[in-house]
Amino acid sequence: MNEKLDTKMEKITSLAKRRGFVFPGSDIYGGLKGTWDFGPLGVALNNRIKSEWWKMFVDGREDMYGLDSSILMNEKVWEASGHTGAGFADPLVEDAKTGERFRADHLLKDNGIEAEGLSASEMDGLIADNELKSPAGNQLSKVKDFNLMFETQIGAEGKYKSYLRPETAQGIFVNFKNVVDTLSPKMPFGIAQIGKAFRNEIAPREWLFRVREFEQMEIEYFVREEQWEEEFETLRLDIQKWHEHIGLAPENIREYEVPENDLAHYSKRTIDFEYNYPGKGFDELAGFAYRTDHDLKNHEEASGVKMRYVPAEGSPFIPHVLEPSFGVGRALTAVLCEAYTEDEMNGEVRTYLKLPKHLAPYRVAVSPLLKNKPQLVEKARAVFLQLKKEFGNVAWDDNGNVGKRYRRQDEIGTPACVVIDFETLGEEDASLKDTVTVRDRDTGEQSRVAIAELASYLK
Ligand code: GAP
């Protein structure tokens, strides 16, 4: 996703801005690095991704429970989880002259030197051995660990410290006992939540890929220790199904086994699900980690509250945890990359988003052939309201001529356009009365469909 070199990614991000999917954060003040705002179509696509995820992983199963925990939590949560320490820090290096900051591992990688899993002093050694300079050609400072959590003060006196959560996961762990005590789930079971997370990334980059404020969709799946491998395999296949469901081609997904020396501080095994981003190649889309009993054990020790599951038979135990963790922004990026298509239609190059029906911001657009003919407009409004009742996400589009409307809807991925014309009024052929033109986004083909059958035709 090198913005300068990759024309496909440039086209996608420019379409996303032009068509109201994604705007730079605080745009009128020159932006705020690492923040992006979702416009009307972006929020629609995001909401669809999240609701499809919830349907598949929570409502569609018997073993999952939902949760929505606070972003601000007691600072002890982050001490117990290990996030306040070096385990949740990135290697920071500065341009000694300009003070510009970089991630040392990324700087090394950009210079063709692998730095995965290395300590700050090992990276220092590599920078010295290879006489690396900053991109501006200046000396580099020593590498130091930089904690990624945003710190904040609580209350008017500012006596208490807290953090904006860097993952939604900890909200799940601290509510483990509440869920078990109130719903008595059978093992194995999962708790899922969708919500914002914040990380003070040293160098936010590549559009939505590495940002400072983002959303996660996470599951903590509680198992007996001896079950973890079997359940890991089952969930791995469920994650594959999810990626298929949001329209990502299997050849654009790769599973990367994270080497032991690069595992997060809590993990014994992690698979990164990677997507083949245009111009960037394979990089992380979602993570899937075996977190052992690290979190529940640490919270039990730190809080003094038992974090045990009490089985019908046998002794209480601390469950082990499998964690599928998805970034909404990265999912949206992958979905847009996969959907972005250029072809030729009627001798012209056209751009369209081949979004799956269940993700498209608008299921269908409705328009009168001519907007200055009251009979057409009245009939079209009636069809629009009927479809709106059925689907909700229906667009009314009467700007420009029909060809322009088709192009506009193609560009935002609307799967079908319905046009009310004179035939609908039965003025030319009585047998066509109360039928409309339905134009398919992908093929451009037009069909004649009775209004009475429109909703089921479009489903
Ligand atoms: N609870 C585990 C956890 O947070 P992670 O691999 O650090 O694991 C999970 O994050 C997912 O969250 C990533 O796969 C990615 O999709 C998303 N994510 C993490 N940091 C991000 C960032 N700075 N910008 C955008 N998305 C991010």
pLDDT at 6: 57
* Among protein residues, the one whose CA lies closest to atom 19 of ligand 1: 327
pLDDT of 266 reads 83
- Asked if residue 112 lies in contact with residue 95, where contact means CB atoms within 8 angstroms, the answer is no
Compute the average pLDDT of residues 67-85: 96
Q: Is 213 in the pocket of ligand 1 (CB under 6 A)?
A: no
Task: Give distance in angstroms: CA of 156 to centre of ligand 1.
Answer: 32
| Ligand 1 in reach of 211 Cβ (< 6 A) | yes
Q: Is the CB of 287 under 6 A from ligand 1?
A: yes
- Asked if the model's pLDDT at residue 308 lies above 80, the reply is yes
CA distances from 198 to 216, 220, 411 (A): 10, 19, 31
Among 207-221, 324-338, 375-389, 419-433, name the one with the lowest average pLDDT: 419-433
Q: How do residues 242-263 score in pLDDT, each as one tens digit?
A: 999 999 999 999 999 999 988 8
pLDDT at residue 3 tops 70? no
Ligand 1 atom nearest the C-alpha of 208 is 25
d(CA 152, CA 357): 42
Whether residue 210 has its Cβ less than 6 Å from ligand 1: yes
Q: What's the pLDDT tens digit per position in 271-299?
A: 999 999 999 999 999 999 999 999 999 99
Residue with more model confidence, 135 or 158: 135
Q: How far apart are the CA of 264 and the centre of ligand 1, in A?
A: 12
Q: Region 88-109: what's the mean pLDDT?
A: 93
Rounded mean pLDDT, 142-165: 93
**pLDDT confidence tier of residue 2, bands split at 50, 70 and 90:** very low
For the segment 131-144, the average pLDDT, to the nearest whole number, is 94
Residue nearest to atom 5 of ligand 1 (CA): 287
Q: In this structure, what token pair is assigned to residue 418?
A: 């319905």
pLDDT, tens digit, 9 for 90 and up, residues 381-410: 999 999 999 999 999 999 999 999 999 999
Residue 332: pLDDT band (50, 70, 90) is very high
Strand-strand pairing, 36-38 and 213-223? unpaired
Higher pLDDT, 157 or 402: 402
- Give the Å distance between the CA of 222 and the centre of ligand 1: 20
pLDDT band at 329; cut points 50, 70, 90: very high
CB 84 within 8 A of CB 78: yes
Rounded average pLDDT over 123-129: 94
pLDDT at res. 439: 98
Counting from 1 in the atom list of ligand 1, the atom nearest the Cα of 201 is 23
Residue 399, classed as helix, strand or coil, is coil
Evaluate if residue 156 carries a pLDDT over 90.
Answer: no
Q: What is the DSSP string of 256-277?
A: EE--GGGS-TT-SEEEEEEEEE
Distance 94 CA to ligand 1 centre (A): 24
- pLDDT at position 28 over 50: yes
Q: Please state, for a pLDDT cut of 90, what percent of the chain lies above it.
A: 92
**CB of 327 closer than 6 A to ligand 1?**
yes
Rounded distance from Cα 77 to ligand 1 centre (Å): 19
Q: What is the pLDDT of residue 428?
A: 78
pLDDT at 4: 46
Q: How far apart are the first and last CA of the chain?
A: 35
Ligand 1 atom nearest residue 218's Cα: 1
Mean pLDDT of the chain: 95
Report which ligand 1 atom has the smallest distance to the Cα of 289: 2
Atom of ligand 1 nearest to the CA of 168: 1
In 3D space, the residue among 22, 21, 51, 54 whose CA is nearest the CA of residue 361 turns out to be 21
Distance 326 CA to ligand 1 centre (A): 7
